[in-house]
Amino acid sequence: MEMNEQVSATETAGMSLADMPAKSCPRQAIVTHSTAAGVMAQLLLDNFLNDTARQELAIALSLSESELHAFVGYLVALHDIGKLSTSFLWQISGNLKDEGALRTMLKKEGLVPRKASSTPVGHEVVSMDAASALWIERYPEKQVEAEFFAHILAAHHQRRHSVQRDQAHRAKWSEYRRQLESAMAAEFGWNQGLPEVQPGREAYVEVILNGLMIMADWIASGEAFVDADQWPVLNRDEILRRGRDFLQVSGLAADPVAIPDTFAAAWPAIGKSVRPLQAAVEKFFQEQDARTELLIIEAPMGDGKSEAALFGAGQLMKQWNKTGLYVALPTAATANQMYGRVLQFLRQFQAEADTKLLHAMAWLVDSGVTALGEAARTGPHDAALEAAAEWLKPVRRGLLSPFAVGTVDQVMMAAMFVRYGVLRLLGLENKVLIIDEIHAYDAYMQEILMDLLAWCRDLRIPVILLSATLTQEKKAELLAPYGASADADAGTDYPLITAVMESGEVKQVACEAGMVRQPITVSRAPILDDPNQIAQHAAEAVADGGCLVVIVNTVGQAQAVYESLKAVWDGELILFHARFPADQRAEIEKKCLALFGPDKADRPARAILVATQVVEQSLDVDFDVMMTANAPIDLILQRAGRLFRHAETPRPAHLLKPQLTVLTDSAGEYETDQNVYPLCLLHRSEAVLRETAQIQIPQDMRPLVEAGYSMDAAQAAELEEWVDNMMADEIKAGAAMNVRLGTPDYGFRPVREHPPYDDLESGACVAAKTRLGRPTVRVALLDSALVTELKTQADADGSIAVRNVAQARDILGRSVSVPESYMKTFKPELTGRGLLYGVQIYPAQDGVHEQNGHQIAYDRELGVIWRNV
C-alpha cells in the first residue's frame, strides 16, 4: 500500500495524520517522519550492525531475524508519537510558513492549550506515556514490556526535562495515537504484541535499540529527506534508496575487511623480520577454536606490540564478525603518531579512507562533514538537528565510522553518564577495541575503564590491552570484569600474552624477547633542582658527538634547562613540550622524528633534545644517551625505551653502550615534581635505582616495576607518603562515581534517568571530566588587528563562532592548552564557540599580552611563558 493511501485511511472529522507536522523547517508530517525513521532503523540494523549483533539482539528478544527486522522498524517509527499533542503542535505551528492553517484546524477540533506553560513539555516524555498506555491497553499482560520499551522511546533525545505531563485533550489525542500506531504496525508488518526480553540482556537491548533510534531519527530529519513532504508518493523504495545513499556517503556502512591469517601477509613491510611476540600472537590465533573476549599483551618497548595488536584485531574481527576497530591512546600526540601507522596497515586492504582521527583537535586533520551536518548548520535552528550535526562531525563520528584512532577519553565517555554516550557504545559494538599503555591511567580513569570493560563484555566487544610495564595488581583489576584471574606463577613470565576466552577460561602464553638489547648502565645525579648543572653534564656527555635527550617532568623545568644549555652548547639544540602553539608543536614533533627517528639520513652528529613526557610514549625516536628526571619506575623504563631503540643507528665511538642518568632531588623533597607524580613513588623509584647498576630489558622489567610499586618495601619514614597516596586514590575513585555509567548489571541508566553531563566537545551541559588533572583552557594570542576584526563578528557577550573553517583552523593552530589557574588574573577579549569552542582569545603586540600587571607571552624558542611586569 502506498503511503498516501494509508494516510487517507487515518482521517478523522477535521484532521488527518498528514495535517500534523513532526518537523517544521522543513515541514515533515508525523506519518512521513515516522515512516522514514522506521525504514532507516531497519537499514541501520541490516547495514550498520554486524551479523553477531543482530543474532544477539534477536535472541535477547526471543525473535527470529525477520521478526526483529519488523519490530525495530515499528518501534522506532513510534519514537515521536508524543508529538501528537496539543502542547507540541501549538508550539510548532509558530515555526511553519503557514502558521495559521494548523492553528485553525486545532481550534476547529477544540485542541487549544488551556494556558501557556512556562515549562515546555518534552515530547519524548509524552511518547513514553502515550506508548505505554496504548500498549498496556492493547496487551494488559505485557505491562513490564510496555514500560521497558516506552522508556527507550523517552531516551531518544538524551536530555534532562521536566517531569510535567501533557494532560490536555488526552482522550482525543489517544485516538490519533492509536491511528499512528496502527498505520506503523501495518507498514512494518508487526502484529505480534511486545517481545519479551531475556533476563540479564536488558542493558544490551536498551543500548542497541536506543542507539539505532537516535541515529535513524537524525538521518530521517536531515538533508536526505528534506523534501519528503513534497514527494508525489511517500514509498518505501524511495526511502530505502536515499537511506542507502546516505549510509554510503557518510561512511556509516562498510564492507568487512579481510585481514590475512599470517603476520607476514598482514604486514608485508615487516616480511621475514617477524618478532617473537608477533609470531606468538599469530600462533595463538591459529590454535584457537573458541572466541577470545580479552587479550592482554605485555612486552617491552620496541618489541612490536602495536603491529601485533593490529594483527590480533584482524583475527578478532573475523571471530566476532566485526567490521572495524578503535585504537585508544593516552594523549592526542600519541594518537596522531598511531594514526599514520594504522593507515599504513589498512591501506593494504583499501580501508584507509574510512579511518578517522578522534580527539578534540582532530578536525584540524579530518575536516569532512556529512550531508546531515551541512543541512543542520545551514537550515533553521532545530535542537535535534544541531545535536545530530555536532555528532556527525569527524571528532565524534569516529566511533560510528568503521575505523578510528584517538584518545582513550573518547571511549571512556562510552562508560560515562554523558549525553549520547549510547552512540559511543553502539559505535564500539561493531569494533575491536585496542587500548595502549593501559598501565598509564590513574585511579579516577581506572574506575571508568573497569566499567567500560564490563560493557565491552556485555556487548560482545573484544578488547586488546597493551602495556610494557603492567603490575600484577593492575592486571588482576583488568581481568576482574571478565570474572577471571591469571595463574600467578605463569603471570611472572615476560613478555606474556594473557587471553580470556568466551567460556571464561584464561590462557597465558610466554614469549621470547624480541631484539637482543645491551644492558643499560644506570647512574644517579642529585642535580634535578639545578638546571645549570644539568646543562653542563649534558653538554659534556656529547661534546665529542652523539644524540642526547634530557627528559624532565614539567614545562618550567624544560625551559630552564634549555636556557642554561644555550650558554654552554653550540650544537643542535631543540626544546619540545606541550606548551607550544598547536602548529609549532606539530613542526617540532616532525623535526624530532626526522632527526632521531627510524630514517637515519638526517641524524645529526651532535644534538641535544630537552623535552617533557611528550617523548615518553608512542614516539619512535632513538638516542645514544639519556638523562631523565626521577619518575615512577615504569615511566623511567618507558623513557629508557628510547635509548638504543634502533639496532641500525650508527653510534659515536665513545657511546657504544646505552647510558641512563637519573636526575634526583638533592634534598629528596621534589617540590615541583610531586605536583606531577606521587611523592611515595618518586622515593620508591629512587630507592630501587639506588640498588640498580644496570637494567637488562626485558628480564628486569617486571621485577623493577613490582618493586617500584611495592608499599611493603618502603621505609618506615615513607609509609605516611604511601597512606597519603592511597587516600588520594580513594578520593579519585570516589570522584568517578559522579560520572560513571555503572555496569550493565544496573541496566542502561540514561534510559531511565537522563544523563546530566555532556561530552568534551560541547558546552550544552556540564562537561563530564575524563581526567582529574588540573583544569586547562586553550588560549590563543592573536595580533591586535585580527582581534579587532573578530570583535565585529562577536555577540554582545564576547562569544564568537568563526564560520570560516580555514580561519578557525589558523586560530586553533596558534592556540595552546595551559593550566586554568595560570589565567586567573586574565580576562579574555573573546571566547570561541562552535569550531573554536572554549578557546580564549587575547590581543597581543609582538606576541605579548599584558593585563593587571601580568604578561602572557609567546616566545618562539620557549613556548608560552608568564611574567610579572
Give the model confidence (pLDDT) of 205-241 as tens digits.
999 999 999 999 988 888 788 888 888 777 888 999 9
Q: So what's the pLDDT on residue 363?
A: 58
Cell reading at 96 = 511553519
Distance CA 80, CA 63 (A): 24
Q: So what's the pLDDT on residue 782?
A: 94
Count how many Cα atoms sit within 13 Å of the Cα of residue 486 in the half-sphere of its side chain.
27
DSSP one-letter string for 684-752: HHHHHHHT-SEE-TTTTHHHHHHHHT-STTS-GGGHHHHHHHHHHHHHHHHHHTTTB---GGG--HHHH
Out of 6-20, 112-126, 403-417, 665-679, which region has the weakest mean confidence (pLDDT)?
Answer: 6-20
- Examine the pLDDT at 358 and tell me if it is beyond 70: yes
- Examine the pLDDT at 582 and tell me if it is beyond 90: no
Out of 259-273, 503-517, 678-692, 732-746, which region has the weakest mean confidence (pLDDT)?
Answer: 732-746
- Examine the pLDDT at 280 and tell me if it is beyond 60: yes
Angle between helices 202-220 and 51-60 (to 10 degrees): 120
Which tops the pLDDT comparison, 706 or 663?
A: 663
**pLDDT tens across 740-775, in order?**
788 888 766 555 556 666 665 443 334 444 444 567
pLDDT confidence of 73, banded at 50, 70, 90? very high
Which tops the pLDDT comparison, 334 or 851?
A: 851
Q: Which helix (H) or strand (E) holds 136?
A: helix 123-138
Is residue 109 within 8 Å of 15, Cβ to Cβ?
A: yes
pLDDT confidence of 643, banded at 50, 70, 90? very high
- Examine the pLDDT at 658 and tell me if it is beyond 60: yes
**pLDDT tens across 289-320, in order?**
899 999 999 998 878 899 999 999 999 999 99
pLDDT confidence of 6, banded at 50, 70, 90? very low
Q: So what's the pLDDT on residue 671?
A: 92
Q: So what's the pLDDT on residue 246?
A: 83
Q: So what's the pLDDT on residue 489?
A: 61
Out of 236-240, 407-411, 473-477, 831-835, which region has the weakest mean confidence (pLDDT)?
Answer: 831-835
Cell reading at 94 = 509558530
Tell me the range of 20-29, 396-405, 526-535 where mean pLDDT is highest: 526-535
Is residue 642 within 8 Å of 623, Cβ to Cβ?
A: yes
- Examine the pLDDT at 430 and tell me if it is beyond 70: yes
**pLDDT tens across 22-52, in order?**
877 778 889 999 999 999 999 999 999 988 8
**pLDDT tens across 563-572, in order?**
999 999 999 9
Cell reading at 434 = 585496542
The mean pLDDT value for 657-664 works out to: 96
Q: Which DSSP category does 122 fall into?
A: P
765-773, Cβ contacts within 8 angstroms, sequence gap of 24 or more? 765/160, 765/419, 768/413, 768/416, 768/417, 768/418, 768/739, 769/739, 770/408, 770/409, 770/412, 770/413, 770/416, 770/445, 770/448, 771/409, 771/442, 771/444, 771/445, 772/442, 772/444, 772/445, 772/732, 772/735
Which tops the pLDDT comparison, 537 or 749?
A: 537
- Examine the pLDDT at 392 and tell me if it is beyond 60: no
The mean pLDDT value for 60-69 works out to: 96
Q: So what's the pLDDT on residue 360?
A: 64
Least Cα distance to 327 among 443, 454, 466 occurs for 466
- Examine the pLDDT at 169 and tell me if it is beyond 70: no
Number of H-type helices and E-type strands within the chain: 32, 27
Which tops the pLDDT comparison, 116 or 357?
A: 357
The mean pLDDT value for 329-352 works out to: 82
The mean pLDDT value for 808-836 works out to: 88
Which tops the pLDDT comparison, 417 or 41?
A: 41
**pLDDT tens across 777-818, in order?**
899 999 999 999 999 988 888 888 887 878 888 998 899 988
Least Cα distance to 609 among 600, 598, 601, 597 occurs for 597
Q: So what's the pLDDT on residue 2?
A: 41
Out of 242-246, 355-359, 447-451, 810-814, which region has the weakest mean confidence (pLDDT)?
Answer: 355-359
Which tops the pLDDT comparison, 734 or 542?
A: 542
- Examine the pLDDT at 159 and tell me if it is beyond 60: yes
**pLDDT tens across 235-268, in order?**
888 999 988 888 887 777 777 788 899 999 999 8
Distance CA 812, CA 795 (A): 20
Other Cβ atoms less than 10 A from the Cβ of 483: the count is 9
Mean of the per-residue pLDDT values of the chain: 84
CA distances to 49, 251, 335, 590 from 356, in Å: 19, 10, 11, 20
Q: So what's the pLDDT on residue 765?
A: 34
Cβ neighbours for 850, distance < 8 A, ≥ 6 positions apart: 869
Q: What are phi and psi of 241, to 5 degrees?
A: -60, -50
**pLDDT tens across 83-124, in order?**
888 888 777 776 666 657 777 787 788 777 776 555 556 788
